[in-house]
Structure 1
Amino acid sequence: MTGLIDLPAALAVTMRRLLGDGDLTDLRRLSGGANMESWAFDWGIEGYVLRRAPSAEYMADRPFGHADEAALVRAAHAAGVKAPEVVGVLAEADGMGTGYIMRRVDAEVNPAPILADPPSSLLSDLALELARIHAVPLASVPDAIPLMDTAAALAELKARFIGYGGDRPIIALAIRWCEENLPAPTGSVLVHGDYRMGNIMVDADGLAAVLDWELAHRGDAHEDLAFGCMAVWRFGRLDHPAFGVGDLEEFFDLYEAAGGVPVDRQRFRFWLVYRTLWWALGCLQMGAAWRSGADRSVERVVVGRRTAEQELDLLALLESEAPAAAREAALPAAYRAPAEAVGEPTNGEIVQAVRDWIDMAIKPHAEGHAKFEAVVAMNALGIVARDLEAGVRAEDADLARALLGGERTLAEPGLLARLRRAALDKCAVDSPKYPPLARARAAWGMA
C-alpha cells in the first residue's frame, strides 16, 4: 500500500492494459529519489520500473508533466541515447497519480561502487552519451520542454535567495559573480539537466543507461558538461574533476571527437559556478518545502542543511577572484565550545540518546526505504547535536546585501579569510564527512 491506494492491485490493472495478461511480483520501492517515487517490479519474466508522483498537485510547479517527460525519453531513446524504454504512461483512470513505466535496466547506479572501479571506457562513454543527447533533433522534442533564458533563470535564483532570507554571504557572492560573468546567448541543444553520477547506470561494458529526465530543457550544452563535474557529484573523487572519473581536458577532447559542440572553457566555468549556486538554493528550497507543509519528510530538512556543502564549493571556485594577499591570509580564530556538562543531560545528550536508539533498535529491523529513512533520521539528529555544540551560524544579512550589491568584494582585506572560516565551520556541523571539507581545511591552513 502507498497512500490510500492499493498500489500492487492498481499497477497490475495498468500493466494488463499496457502489455496484456501477466503476474506482478517483487514490487519494491527503490531507495533515494528525493523528488519522485520509483518502484521496481516484475511482470511475468520481465523487469520494469514505475516512476510516479502521487498526485497531479505534486507536479503543479514543474514546467512539464510526466506525459511530456515520457515523450522526451522516447525521443531520446529513438535517437540512439541510452535512455530507458518507456512502455506506457499512467492514465487518470489508473488511480496512481501521474507517471510512466519503463523496462528495467539491470546495472549499477550507486556512485560508490562505480567510482571505486570504473570501467576503462567510462569517461569516453560519458562524453559520447552527452554528445548524443546534445544531437537529439529539437524537432522531436515535445513542445513543453522549455527553452532556458540564462539571464532570466539567474534573476529567478536571486529572487528565491532573497525570498529565503537573503542572508547567506557566500551565496550572495556567487550571484553577483554570475551576474558579472553572464555569457552571451548561444545555440540551443537538448540539455539533460541532471547528467551526473547517481543518474547513470553502469555495467561491466560501461555506461548502460541515462536516468531522470525531469530537468531537461533546451539550452547551452556547457551546462550539462559542467553539472556532473561539480564537487558534490564526484563523490569523493576530487582528483578526477570530470565526473569523478578522469581529466577535464581529456573529457572535453572525447566529447568534441564524439560530435559535441566546441568547448568554451569560460562558459564551462560559468556553468560550474551557476549550477553549484543552483544546487545551494535547491537545498534551501527543500527546507522551505518542509516548513510550508508541502513535504514533511525528514529527508527534506536534512537535504536543506546540505547548503553548507555548496557554499564551501562556491568559495573554492571563486576565491581566485581575490588578491594573492587575501588568499594567503590566516584564518580567524575558531569558535570554542563551552566545557562539557556535568549536571542534568543537555539537549545535545538527549539528541544523541535518540540517535543511538534509532541505530540500535530501529535500523537493524528496517528494510528497503524504511531503512533509508532511519539512516536519514540519524543524520538529522547528528546535525542537531553538532549544531548545539558548535553554536555557529551562516546568516549575515548585512554582509550578504553588500556582496550582492557589489559594495564589498573579495578584494577587501580579511573578508576571504572570514568567509573561509564561516564555510569550514558550517560544513563541519552540517556535513562533516563531505570530502571537499578535508581538502579545504588543508588548502586554507586550518589546523
Structure 2
Amino acid sequence: MTDIASLLPALMARIAGRGTEPGACAEGLSALERLSGGANMESWAFDWAGQPYVLRRAPSADYMAGRPFGHADEAALVMAAAAAGVKAPQVVGVLEEADGLGTGYVMRRVAAEVRPARIVAAPPPSLLADLARELAHIHAIPRCAIPAAIPLMDTAAALAELKARFLSYGGGRPVIALAIQWCEEHRPAAADPVLVHGDYRMGNIMVDADGLAAVLDWELAHLGDAHEDLAFGCMTAWRFGALDRPAFGIGSLDEYFAAYQAAGGAVVDPARFRFWLIYRTLWWALGCLQMGQAWRSGADTAVERVVVGRRTAEQELDLLLLLETEVPEAERARPLPPPPPEAALAYGEPTNREMVQAVRDWLGTAIKPGAEGHGKFEVAVAMNALGIVIRDLGAGVRAEDKALAEAALAGEVRLGDPGVLARLRRAVLDKCAVDSPKYTALAAARAAWGV
C-alpha cells in the first residue's frame, strides 16, 4: 500500500511550495484523511501550510487502463471549465510518476456540504436554478477550450458496448434485456455535440448556504447530447428518497427545464430526455454489475464493490417503472404472482444464516464503535454486505432468467405481452427486498402495484 503521508510533502513542496514563504500559516502536512465514498477514485483531504487541499488519485497507472483519458487531461478539463466560469474546483498540480502516488491531481478544498441526504433535506432556495445554470454553462464551453483527449460519444456504439457487457456478465437479467431492446428501438438521431459532464448529480456537487458551491468528478466527461446530462441527475437513484421531486430530488422538471433554458441552454425535448433517463438507468444497472465483476476478477477487492454489485436490483426496479408506462392498462392491472414461501424456522445447530447474523452483530457492537474515518465507512459497508447475505439465505431469490432475457433481446418477448409485466414486477420486488430493502422506490412500487 502506498504510504501517502510520507510522499505528499515532496509533492506539495513541488506544486505549492514549502509553506515557509511570507504569509504562510504553517509548514508541513496535517489533517490527512481519506474521504468516504468514491466508487472509482480515492480522495484524500489534507492541510498543507495551513491551507486545505484534496488529492484525487488512482493508485497506479494500471488502474486507469481502458479509460478514454487520464488524470492530466481530466485536470486540464477542470481548469478549462473553471476558466469558462463554471464552479469547478481550483486545480493546483498534477501528479507525476516520480511522485510515487499513482495518477491524479491536487485541488483546493471547498468548504461546503457534499452529502446528498443533507442537501436534499434542506436545499438552498436557489439550488435548482444554480444546477440548471451551471449545466448550461458546461454545455456552452467552446470546443477549442476542451482537451483533445475528451472523446465524442457515438450513441449507437455506446449502446452496443452496453449490450456486449451485459452478455459478458451472463446476459440473464430480463429487465435489463428489455431496456436494451427499448433503447435500440428508440435511439434518437445524433444531436449537435456539447461538453457533457457525464456524472452531474447529487453526490458530485457541493452546496453551501448561498447555493451551488462546486461541481466535482469530471472523469466521465465527453462530447455528446446535452439531454444526457439533463437526465442523469433526475434518475431515481440520485434523488435519494425524494420521489416527488424528479429534478435532483429538489424540484420539478418544468422548473428545471425553464431554468436551464433561461441560462442559455437549448430547448429540452421530452422524448430525448426520456431516452437518456432510461439509457443512463440501464448504464448504471450494468455499472453495478461491473463493480461486482471487478471484485470477482481481483481487480478491486474492496468489499464496497460487491455491495454496489447488488444494487443492480434497484436499477431493475427503476427500469421497470419507467418502461411499464407504455404497457396496455389491462396488463398493468393484472395481479402479481404470489411471493415465494418464507424460510422455515431453524432448529438444531446454527444455520448459515444465523452464523452470518452473529458475525454482523459482532461487527456492529465490537468493531464499528471504535472505527474512525474511512475505516468506519468500510465496517458499515461490510455489515450491509452481510445483511444482504442474511436476507438472501432466507429468501432464495434469483434475478437470472436467461431464456426470458434472450427472448427479450431478440424482440420475441415484449413487456406488454400477457403476464410478462406481472411476472417481472414480482421478480424485481423480491430481489430488491433482498438487496436494498430500504430503497425508497421499493415501497412506492409496492403501493403502486397493490402489493
TM-score tier by shorter-chain length is over 0.9
In the other structure, the counterpart of 2:34 is 29
TM-score under structure 1 normalisation? Answer: 0.98
Partner of 1:265: 270
Corresponding position of 2:127:
122
Match in the other structure for 1:95 = 100
Aligned equivalents of 1:8, 1:412: Cα separation in 2: 60
Question: 1:6 Cα deviation (Å)?
Answer: 2.7
CA distance in 2, matches of 1:19, 1:56: 24
Residue 4 of structure 2, aligned match among 4, 7, 16: 7
Task: Choose the corresponding residue for 1:147, options 124, 139, 152.
Answer: 152
Q: Distance in 1 between matches of 2:350 and 2:100?
A: 50
Aligned-residue offset at 1:411: 2.2
- SS of alignment partner, residue 101 of structure 1: strand
> 1:99 Cα shift?
0.4
Amino acid across the alignment from 1:12: P
Moved more, 305-314 or 132-141: 132-141
After alignment, is 330-339 or 220-229 more displaced? 330-339
- In the alignment, structure 2 segments of 5+ residues that lack a partner are 20-27
Whether the aligned pair in 2 keeps the contact of 1:241 and 1:247 (CA below 8 Å) is yes
Shift of 1:218: 0.3
**1:327 match:** 332
Distance 1:105 1:336 in 2: 51
Q: 1:117, CA displacement in angstroms?
A: 0.7
Structure 1 partner of 2:78: 73
In the other structure, the counterpart of 1:239 is 244
Q: Which residue number corresponds to residue 287 of structure 2?
A: 282
1:338: Cα distance to partner?
2.9
* Per-residue Cα deviation, 1:39-66 (whole angstroms, up to 9, x for no partner): 0011112110000111000001111000
Matched, 1:309 2:306: no
Question: What is residue 111 of structure 2 aligned with on the other side?
Answer: 106
DSSP 3-state at the match of 1:87: strand
Please name the residue that 1:20 is paired with.
Answer: 17
Partner of 2:22: none
Q: Distance in 1 between matches of 2:380 and 2:94?
A: 33
Structure 1 segment 2-401 matched on structure 2, within 5 A: 3=1, 5-22=2-19, 23-401=28-406
The amino acid of 1:121's aligned partner reads: S
CA distance in 2 between counterparts of 1:68 and 1:367 reads 34
**Which runs of no fewer than 5 residues in structure 1 stay unpaired?**
none
Letter in 1 for 2:167: I
Structure-2 separation of matches of 1:113 and 1:407: 45
SS of 2:245 mapped into structure 1: coil
Identity %: 74
Asked if 1:431 corresponds to 2:428, the answer is: no
Using structure 2 for the length normalisation, give the TM-score: 0.98
For 2:228 and 2:73, the matched residues in 1 are separated by 22
Once the two structures are TM-superposed, the CA of residue 297 in structure 1 deviates from its matched residue by 1.1
Decide which of 394, 399, 413 is 1:408's aligned counterpart: 413
C-alpha separation in 1, matches of 2:144 and 2:445: 45
- How far 1:9 sits from its partner (Å)? 2.3
Cα distance between partner residues in 2 of 1:322 and 1:116: 34
- The aligned amino acid for 2:62 is E
Q: Is the CA contact 1:337–1:391 (under 8 Å) kept in the aligned structure 2?
A: no
Cα distance in 2 for residues equivalent to 1:58 and 1:103: 24
| 8 Å Cα contact 1:228-1:234 kept in structure 2 | yes
Give SS of 2:195's match: strand
Assess if the C-alpha contact under 8 Å between 1:352 and 1:382 holds in 2: yes
- Displacement of 1:345: 0.7
How far apart, in 1, do the equivalents of 2:120 and 2:278 lie?
Answer: 23
Q: Deviations over 1:335-380 (max 9, x none)?
A: 0123211211111000100000000011001000100000000000
**Deviation of the 1:210 alpha carbon:** 0.2
Q: Shift of the alpha carbon at 1:256? A: 0.4
Aligned counterparts of 1:6 and 1:400: Cα–Cα separation in 2: 47
Aligned partners of 2:168 and 2:78: how far apart in 1?
Answer: 34
In 2, Cα distance between equivalents of 1:331 and 1:120: 42
Letter in 1 for 2:200: Y
Aligned partner (choices 439, 442, 446) of residue 441 of structure 1: 446
Give the superposed CA RMSD.
Answer: 0.6
- Number of equivalenced pairs: 443
- Counterpart contact for 1:170–1:311, Cα < 8 Å: yes
- Tell whether the 8 Å contact from 1:54 to 1:96 is kept in structure 2 after alignment: yes
Runs of 4+ in 1 over 2 A off after TM superposition: none
Q: Which residue of 1 aligns with 2:23?
A: none
CA displacement, residues 170-198 of structure 1 (integer Å, 9 cap, x when unaligned):
00000000000000001000000000000
Q: After TM superposition, give the deviation of residue 412 of structure 1 in Å.
A: 1.2
- The one-letter amino acid paired with 1:53 is A
Q: 1:7 deviation in Å?
A: 1.3
1-structure distance, mates of 2:398, 2:102: 40
Check the 8 A contact 1:331/1:421 in 2, yes or no.
yes
